[in-house]
Structure 1
Amino acid sequence: MIKLMKNYTLSMFLLGFIMLGACSSPEEPVVEDDDDEVVVVPEEPKETTPPPPAPDPFAREGNVYKKDNQWIVKVNEDTVYTGTDMIRAIQEAAGGLFAVRNFKQTVFIHASGETGANSGSLKAVDIPSYTILDFQGHTMHVNDTGDDLIVPIRGLSSQNIEIKNLKITGNPRYGIWLQSCRNIRLTNINVNIPEAVSIGLGIRIDQARGSRSQNVYMDSIYVENTKHHAVETYGVDNITIGTITTKNTGGAGLLLNDTKDGTVKLVDAYRANNGGGYAGFRTANDCGPNIVVEKVIARECGRGVFTVSGSRGITIKEVDISGSTSHGMLIEDTQDFVVEGGTVVNSGAQGVRITSRASEQHHATSNVTVKNLRVYDDRNPKQQSHGIWETLPRTNKNFILNNDVRNGGYTANLISNGEGTVVEGNIVDN
């Protein structure tokens, strides 16, 4: 009996202890003895120098130097040419780049120089595909005499090419001549060639090797004192032009032949073919469609703007034309042509002439819109015969809208003869 009572008392004590623990708060902090805690101090990071990157087996760069009268060409650290021929030096540098590649590599030209004479045939630096020629502001002077048989830079069916920061002087045939090339960039090019003998054209891009040139970008182009055009294209698809500035050229400032899908920011031409028939800006030979020009400035040119020979699909947003020795604007055998506004002042023939030739070789002039122009002659006596003059044969269905032609010409301010032409909103009477 006594043993049973002891077991009962012990059981009740244990039960009470368990219940007391169950009733304590679960949020009550538990105090631990941290006297024996070990603190680990991290080691200072060790300085390490990463290993140098593996050399790029495709990295090659050409450098063309000049010392005294010698050209020295290095490709990477290897000397590949030493001699007196500037054209050969640049060619050797370009030829020393990685032979087969689908990425651009650069030749840097570090000095100006002369090309020397030709040897009876055309002589040029032929730029390979995927090549950049950076002249860093230096000059190629063509000191050849007689026939124009030197082209400083030429492209023969090349693709992905760049020519930049180049000055050309002397007597070249063409400053730059690119034939059937693709993906072209020309930037900061200066051509000044009063010494040219016969051809002397600034920049030409064409389809001379059988396929059309494509994807052309040009900007900051300055051409002066050429015998022929400043910049000419023939057979080009997709062209973007920033600014072209020309002065005293024997032909047009900018001439687009058989060229489509393009934009031009600014043509600024001074005395382009003064006294002749070419213009500051000219389109011809089925040029278009989809050509948009932001602005044409033409001072004392043969014509300010001249579009002809089947051109179509061309828009000029603004013109600033003065002192043309012939027409301010001549729009002939052209369709879907728009001039959105500007001024035409003091032309030698008419301010604006809209016409078609009798021959049916090209389409008649139709769907031409001339609007928002101020056309006048403030000389005494006037030399501009008409402000705007639309003439036959075949010319039809054009739009002459909202122009101010007061004091437009000594014969008449505005005459329209085309069948179906709309003439509205013009200020005609003085």
Structure 2
Amino acid sequence: MRHNRTQHRSRRGTRSITAASATVLAVVAATAAVQSNAFGTEEEPTAVSQSPTEAQAQDCGAGTFQAQVAKAGDTWKARHGDTVLYTGDDMFAAMNAGLDSLTPNRTTKERMVVLGSGTISASERLKLPSYTVLDVCGTINATGAVATDTGPIFSRDTTDVEVQHAKITGAPMYGMFFRSVSNLTLGQIDMRLSGGLGIRIDNGSKATPATNTRIDDVYVSGASSHAVETAGLDGVTIGTVTARDVGEAGLLLNTTTHAEVGTVDAQNVGTGTGYAAFRMANRNGRIGDGYENNIHVNQVIARGGGRGIFCVSESGGAVIDRVDIADTGNNAILVENCYNVTIAAEGGTVSGAGGIRIAARDEFANTSDVTLENLTVTDSFIKESPCAENTVIKNVELVNTTKDVC
């Protein structure tokens, strides 16, 4: 079975991705200048005339807000204007009180700022309604037993939800979990976990995808599962995913279309497994019955761990510009039953015994239209088995490396 192949990115995909990418790059550049203060001291925000979205590009907690939750000593206080909503030692109760004070059934964004660090139960989830902006200037530590589909920050069947800053520790089931949320924005997210999955964004069992997701900068360490996972999304823009000592994948895209990713930077991710720093699975990138280019990744960096790049189970339509992969315990790159995939369009290096494989399983259509180019491969191998359709290997320098291709 042959699949439709479009040379380079489709016009439709390029227009939508480029516009989104320009937005995220502007925001990431602005946040980088203040990132060192993102989780700093608890201070009263200075009121300025800015919308919640504009506030994302400045210090955590700064800008206008409708509700504020702040910790002084061991006491949390939630307020809305001059009205005190909660006073006590329960961080979760204080945050809930702040959220509940926002306008019901609103159609424009309202913002809650959290100043301070505390502990909540891993079975609890702060449910963000539509048109909510959350800015957490401190750490949420999730402890104790988990419950199904829970995470400290959660939203489901909503629109226009934004988390500007958040730092999460502990071992929740998910650090953040979003299901069927359109117009979702995540800004500067930092998770130093001891288990669980970092961020999962999906559409549940719905036939229609969740649309318009933006993630600026995510750091995840210590998760036992993935750092960031998507499923059933259309229209995704990601700045940087940094994964350290994560049990499975760094960035895993499932059944996701029209995605623009800046950098995936992974160390010791998926050690002892078949997972990868960057993985595409379950018909990721498939549009209708074809695989026009609609997944674009600027750079994948992988050191150690399982695999570097893994494309599997009828995924494709992807261009990865640059790769820097070394010393993976499993394959540096494995493309298996994927279609229209270009790796190292702008250059890269692969080194170590893991090797590069182009492969296929019998239960899916054979791999086709894979291009490896502009690579230097050192102390490794390139192997194609079984023979794929229309494989292109060009401008590849082999250093102490074998090549066994059709």
Normalising by structure 2, we get a TM-score of: 0.79
Q: Which residue of 2 aligns with 1:237?
A: 234
- Structure 1 vs Structure 2 CA RMSD: 1.7
From 405, 416, 422, give the equivalent of 2:405.
Answer: 416
- Equivalent in the alignment of 2:188: 188
2:133–2:163 Cα contact (<8 Å) kept: yes
Change in CA separation of 1:149 and 1:88 when aligned onto 2, cut-off 3 Å: farther
Q: Secondary structure at the match of 1:363?
A: coil
Matched, 1:370 2:372: yes
Q: Determine helix, strand or coil for the equivalent of 2:198.
A: strand
Partner in structure 2 of residue 390 of structure 1: 384
- Cα drift, residue 229 of structure 1: 0.3
Match of 1:343 in 2: 349
Q: Distance in 2 between matches of 1:327 and 1:400?
A: 18
Distance in structure 1 (CA, Å) of the matches to 2:285 and 2:205 = 21
Deviation string 1:74-133 (CA, Å, 9 cap, x unpaired) is 112111223333223212211211113221110000111100364xxxx20000111110
Counting only pairs closer than 5 Å after superposition, residues 244-259 of structure 1 correspond to structure 2 as 244-259=241-256
Rg larger in 1 or in 2?
Answer: 1
Greater fraction strand: 2
Q: Which of 263, 268, 273 is matched with 2:270 structurally?
A: 273
Matched, 1:313 2:317: yes
Task: Tell me, in whole angstroms, the C-alpha distance in 1 between the residues paired with 2:331 and 2:362.
Answer: 20
1:322-337 matches, within 5 Å, as 322-337=326-341
Which digits, 9 at most, give the CA deviation of each residue in 1:194-248, with x for residues without a partner? 2x3xxx0000000126342210111111000101000000101100000111100
Q: Which amino acid aligns with 2:378?
A: Y
Assess if the C-alpha contact under 8 Å between 2:150 and 2:177 holds in 1.
Answer: no
1:144 match: 144
Cα contact 2:122–2:146 (8 A) shared by 1 = no
TM-fit CA distance, 1:376: 1.3
Q: 1:209 to 1:312 in 2, by over 3 A?
A: closer
Report what 1:125 is aligned to: 126
Q: Which residue of 2 aligns with 1:303?
A: 307
CA distance in 2 between counterparts of 1:88 and 1:255 reads 33
Q: Does 1:88 align with 2:93?
A: yes
Return the match for 1:260 from 252, 257, 263. Answer: 257
Tell me by how many angstroms 1:150 deviates: 4.7
Contact kept? 1:235, 1:258, Cα under 8 Å: yes
What is the letter of the counterpart of residue 127 of structure 1?
A: L
Aligned match for 2:69, one of 61, 64, 71: 64
Unaligned runs of at least 5 residues, structure 1: 1-58, 378-383, 418-430
- Residue identity opposite 1:343 in structure 2: T
Name the counterpart of 1:406: 399
Report how far residue 144 of structure 1 moved: 1.6
Inter-partner Cα distance in structure 1 for 2:185 and 2:151: 18
Give the Cα–Cα distance (whole angstroms) in 2 for the partners of residues 117 and 213 of structure 1.
Answer: 26
CA contact (8 A) 1:86 1:113 kept: yes
Q: Residue type matched to 2:236 in 1? A: I
Whole-angstrom distance in 2 between the partners of 1:164 and 1:144: 26
DSSP-derived class of the 1:403 partner = strand
Kindly indicate whether the alpha-carbon contact (under 8 Å) linking 2:122 and 2:147 is maintained by their aligned counterparts in 1: no
Letter in 1 for 2:353: S
Counterpart of 2:11 in structure 1 is none
Corresponding residue for residue 217 of structure 1: 214
Provide, for residues 24-71 of structure 1, a one-character-per-residue CA deviation record: whole Å limited to 9, x for no partner. Answer: xxxxxxxxxxxxxxxxxxxxxxxxxxxxxxxxxxx9701002234332
Q: How far did residue 147 of structure 1 move?
A: 6.4
Q: CA 1:407 to 1:68, structure 2 compared with 1: closer, same or farther past 3 Å?
A: same
* Identical pairs, percent: 37
* Closer, same or farther: CA 209–84 of 1 in aligned 2, 3 Å: farther
Question: Greater RCO between the two (CA within 8 Å, min separation 6)?
Answer: 2
How many positions carry a matched residue from both structures? 333
Distance of 1:242 and 1:347 partners within structure 2: 30
Give SS of 2:167's match.
strand
1:12 matched residue in structure 2: none
8 Å contact from structure 2 (residues 121, 145) kept in 1: no
Per the alignment, residue 157 of structure 2 pairs with 157
* Residue 202 of structure 2 corresponds to residue 206 of structure 1: yes
Judged with a 3 Å threshold, the aligned counterparts in structure 2 of structure 1 residues 342 and 69 are, in CA distance, closer, same or farther, namely same
- 8 Å CA contact 1:375–1:405 kept in 2: the answer is yes
> For residues 345 and 60 of structure 1, what CA distance do their matches in structure 2 show?
50
The residue number in structure 1 matching 2:61 is none
Equivalent residues of 1:311, 1:333 under 8 A apart = yes
- TM superposition score normalised by structure 1: 0.75
- How far is the alpha carbon of 1:164 from its aligned partner? 2.1
5+ unaligned residues in a row in structure 2: which ranges?
1-63, 287-293
2: CA distance, partners of 1:347 / 1:215: 39
> CA distance change for structure 1 residues 355 and 227 in 2, over 3 Å: closer, same or farther?
same
> How far apart are the structure 1 equivalents of 2:181 and 2:223?
24
Cα distance change on mapping 1:60 and 1:226 into 2, 3 Å: closer
CA contact (8 A) 2:122 2:172 kept: no
